[in-house]
Structure 1
Amino acid sequence: MDCRNEFFVIRIPDTGSIHEAVGIIADTGITVTRCHFNRSIDPKTSFLSVRGTPEGCQKAMTALSLKGYLQSEIRYPKTVRFTVIVPDIPGTLHRILMILDEYKAEITSLSFDNRGKNPDRLQVAVRVHDLSLTNILIDAIHAHYEIEIEGYDCGDDESDGCLFYHRYAERVREILGETADPYLLDLLNQFSHIAQQLTEYGKEYEGTLEQILQNGRRLAETTGDGFFADVQKIQVTTHIWLYCFQLPGGGSIFIIDTPTGRIMVDTGYGIYHDDAMKMFKHYHLDGAPGFSRIIMTHGDTDHCGAAGYFEAPIWTHEGTWNVIKTNNRAYGACSEDLVYEQVYTVMINLFARMHPPEEVNLFPSSTGEKIGDFPLLCRFEENGVAGEIIEGYGGHQHGMVYLLCRELGLLFTSDTILNLKHLTPDRSEYNGFAVYLVRSVNVNPDLVKNERKDLMKIAQDLDTELQKDGKRLIICCGHGPVSILNNGDLIPYGTIEQYRHNI
């Protein structure tokens, strides 16, 4: 039997709505797998996830829609304020309330006192979600009673908690640009799910939703005129230069520039691609001979999100390719099924404009050789650069690889060895978003400890050998400046300059 997962965003017009909505779902034979409702945040919206046959899910959707429970659009409901001139006839109030209920109008205020100053006036304010029914509702009441319309508004009063999710959706839309309502509702459901799950680890529900927005907003704000990068240009040999571009958020882009071609290691976020190309032009890295090879060290979008923009051959690990294809950064790890890992990947790939390549070249399986305790996948030589591709343990992410260029004294460690101590405060703050939302940026935090120790041992041994010839091992960290070792610590190597457009 074909089975699928589906979600419904439910409008809650009254206290019995959840009971009736769940009853409708139960009658279709599908199973509720998740629900979330918090009256103090938004008393009118509930999230329900279900599992069942496609036919059952469609039947439930239709039934919920007919009952006025299903939210399918992101828009503020219209509030109508009017006064009804009521005759002194028993049952009048009841009849008016029945009309309001028939048209799914939610009462926001009701005032009537036949011993007061205006004994024949019933003052009403109702919220109508289906705007096409507003005039029909007024006409239905006017057919029986005299009515005076006092005004309309779109429910944008900031004190109205009923609109929390609608306002939140509009804030997401501000980051993404024009986005279809069904897709926004899907995002709302997913963001709500990650926030719900993280409450189990002591995080605040609303705080998580705000962290998600701050992440997206920071990326948007650091493009165009807000873009900047910390740049290191290091002469490796007479004719070969290494460039490191620390972007505003996320990992670094590395370029090995030779007279016959360039090798790129990691591409940065897709959202920064236009800015990065403008920056490359400033450093004369945009023209011939061009990029001959791009290496994606792993599947996090801050390291591979712009890869689809380039025409050069792209090389990566099969595990990284699966991370990209499944849209789950925890693919292949013990945390693969955790909702917050899955939703975080969807969120960050969306905000960061993930643009993966259509096809890649996969590194071969292990040669049987090892470098330290790490499997050697292959060797290559290109543009006078000899490289060794080393397979990681999978502590930070399944499919991660390292690049070692022995003759040049370069080790690209991706996100296993980081120089966090020398991150700028704004970059440290940005990295905190990911830590908050996935608890640890490493999909296997226990494994990464040994992985980092073993990779650092290789770095220390190589550095010791190079020093015999008066050289140093240059460590290209996934985050932070290009560094060398100093008594076990990483210290920035060479000069760091800041790049900004037109400065």
Structure 2
Amino acid sequence: LDIPGVVKNILEVFEKYNINISYVNTQENDTSYQYCKIGLYASSSEVLSTVLEQIGTFCKIIDINYDTQDKIIDNTVFYHSFAQNMQKTLSLSEKETKAFLNNSNKILQILEDKNENYFKTFNYIRKFAEFTVNYKDEQFNPRINHKSINDDVNLYLIEPPCGSNTYIIECDNELLFIDSGFRCYADEMKQFFHVLFPDFDEMEKQIILTHADMDHVGITDIFDDIYVSENTFINFKREHEGKKNFREENPLHEPYIKLDRIISKYEPPELTKLRIIGNKTNDKEFEKIGEFNFKDMCFEVYESNGGHLKGEIILVEKENKIIFTGDIFVNVKGFTQEQYDFNLLAPYLMGSVNTDSAKASACRKILLNKCKNYLFCPGHGTWVENSDT
């Protein structure tokens, strides 16, 4: 049973018989039992038997057969090499390197309990880091699309190899952004903004964030007004206060989010720039929390039940039949090869990219059923007519 003091009693037995601990993996699981895997080294099998017999009087013990061909439990050299590699790849400080290694190991512990391979876990983490770096500078090659909504309004879509879509609506020399990708690509993205809009610096611009995931909110420094739901505001406020954000409240997501913060160079938006659109008051799949007007376009803003992330919103423009879905809908069929490869990483390392997959699925079905013949502008993957989905 998960009773305070049991681990202390175990350690006292180890100390009594000079037992060395080579490996420990333990985590809470919301039950009355605490499972703890411990690798031991004893001077003889007789001593080990005595130790296990004594511990067995107050704690249930299960002997796990250790297959050295499957996992390497105690590999200091590997950890050191991995840390050095990540420090060099990402240009990390010593403090960041320690945090990176610590959270990588936490992901390993979570996946190990699902019998995932040790090296696969670290290889996926390495891929995550290398992906973001490999597409920096001249290698940054987003897919860009343009669509005329009417004679006065143009819609642009920028899809980077890693991170969310960025949408830009242009009308009368003013710009409305929806989401903005990873912060680590801020310089590269700004170059493309200036290519698309030669007078970019002089143009009025504002942004709406569909939700608070780091791959959607990376470029906010160029805006004076950042529109969000109240729950998304609370998420960012928590980050500024040094508290866990909504993602980090889930222990299965927390280590990945902390890696994401390091890799993407994430910083939360300035609170003084945030403008709250509205707040959700019920548990329904969607609730209208307000409207947002941009020139002649009127967006109805709905907050979902938080299946993907608490505070997420969709923007519905009924006259032109356009919907910005955030990550409630993702167009996997419309991925580039780079996007497809990158988007395999997070679901593995997090277990799921959703806070509640059943809720997220219910919301997605509602959008597909109720918004027929709308242009779907997803969080990832190219836009698509709903009739084609």
Superposition deviation, residue 213 in structure 1: 1.5
Superposition deviation, residue 356 in structure 1: 2.1
Superposition deviation, residue 189 in structure 1: 1.8
- Counterpart AA for 1:215: F
Match of 2:361 in 1: 449
Alignment of 1:184-333 (within 5 A): 184-284=97-197, 287=200, 290-307=203-220, 309-326=221-238
Deviations 1:371-429 (A, max 9, x none): x9621111122333322111112111111001112223211011111210121222111
5+ residue gaps, structure 1, are: 1-14, 23-32, 40-159, 464-472, 491-503
Deviations 1:85-133 (A, max 9, x none): xxxxxxxxxxxxxxxxxxxxxxxxxxxxxxxxxxxxxxxxxxxxxxxxx
Match of 2:349 in 1: 437
1:169 to 57, 74, 83: 83
Does the 8 Å contact 2:277/2:291 carry over to 1? no
Cα distance 1:331–1:271, how it changes in 2: closer, same or farther (>3 A)? closer
Superposition deviation, residue 187 in structure 1: 2.5
Cα distance 1:220–1:326, how it changes in 2: closer, same or farther (>3 A)? farther
Superposition deviation, residue 201 in structure 1: 1.9
Match of 1:76 in 2: none
Question: 1:251, 1:440 → 2: CA distance?
Answer: 17
- Counterpart AA for 1:477: P
Does the 8 Å contact 1:403/1:411 carry over to 2? yes
Match of 1:87 in 2: none
- Counterpart AA for 2:81: R
1:475 and 2:376 matched? yes
Question: 2:109, 2:179 → 1: CA distance?
Answer: 33
Match of 2:59 in 1: none
1:393 to 305, 314, 330: 305
**What secondary structure is seen at the aligned counterpart in 1 of 2:113?**
helix
Superposition deviation, residue 446 in structure 1: 1.1
Does the 8 Å contact 1:320/1:398 carry over to 2? yes
**What secondary structure is seen at the aligned counterpart in 1 of 2:142?**
strand
**What secondary structure is seen at the aligned counterpart in 2 of 1:301?**
coil
Cα distance 1:183–1:16, how it changes in 2: closer, same or farther (>3 A)? farther
**What secondary structure is seen at the aligned counterpart in 1 of 2:200?**
coil
Cα distance 1:329–1:211, how it changes in 2: closer, same or farther (>3 A)? farther
RMSD, aligned α-carbons: 3.1
**Structure showing the higher strand proportion among its residues:** 1
Alignment of 1:350-389 (within 5 A): 350-359=262-271, 360-366=274-280, 374-389=286-301
Q: Percent identity?
A: 24
- Counterpart AA for 2:89: I
Cα distance 1:458–1:223, how it changes in 2: closer, same or farther (>3 A)? same
Superposition deviation, residue 250 in structure 1: 2.0
- Counterpart AA for 2:131: R
Superposition deviation, residue 20 in structure 1: 12
- The structure that has the greater radius of gyration is 1
Superposition deviation, residue 434 in structure 1: 0.3
Superposition deviation, residue 443 in structure 1: 1.2
Does the 8 Å contact 2:300/2:316 carry over to 1? yes
Cα distance 1:218–1:206, how it changes in 2: closer, same or farther (>3 A)? same
Cα distance 1:38–1:420, how it changes in 2: closer, same or farther (>3 A)? farther
- Counterpart AA for 1:264: F
Question: 1:438, 1:163 → 2: CA distance?
Answer: 26
Cα distance 1:477–1:20, how it changes in 2: closer, same or farther (>3 A)? closer
Question: 1:188, 1:275 → 2: CA distance?
Answer: 28
**What secondary structure is seen at the aligned counterpart in 1 of 2:210?**
coil
Match of 1:340 in 2: 252
Paired residue total:
327
Alignment of 1:28-177 (within 5 A): 162-177=76-91
Superposition deviation, residue 319 in structure 1: 2.2
TM-score (ref. length: structure 2)? 0.76
